[in-house]
Amino acid sequence: MKTYEVQNDTSKTEKHTPYIEIPSEVKPNEPFQVTVQVGKDIPHPNLVEHHIKWIQVFFEEEGRAFNPIHIATFDLGPTYAEPKVTFTMKVPKNGKLIALAYCNIHGLWENSADVKVSE
């Protein structure tokens, strides 16, 4: 059951979509870096009246009965914080990373990236 409405206004996509950067392949259960950035090519404003409030990251593991798994939540303040986060995680098998970003004016935005695990 989905309890939120993800925005799809294509005129605002470049400033609001959370872009996910990960390695093309990772090893099972070995740490790797993930970077999530909102407004990668066109920066999102970072003002008191218009900013990204938070970024959340989830992982959908292939074959797992209960998905998605919450990985991290990053709360961001206006003016000084930039909507870009980098963290380290590890996964046992293939799956999909899902990033959500919340703009205080334009609502919730989502993107995903496949995680490929190789021996």
Active site residues: 14-16, 44, 50, 103, 106
Q: Which residues of 61-84 are buried (b: 16+ CB within 10 A; e: fewer)?
A: beeeeeebeebeebebeeeeeebb
Burial class (CB in 10 A: 0-12, 13-18, 19+), 19: middle
Q: What are phi and psi of 82, to 5 degrees?
A: -105, 145
| CA 39 to chain centroid | 12
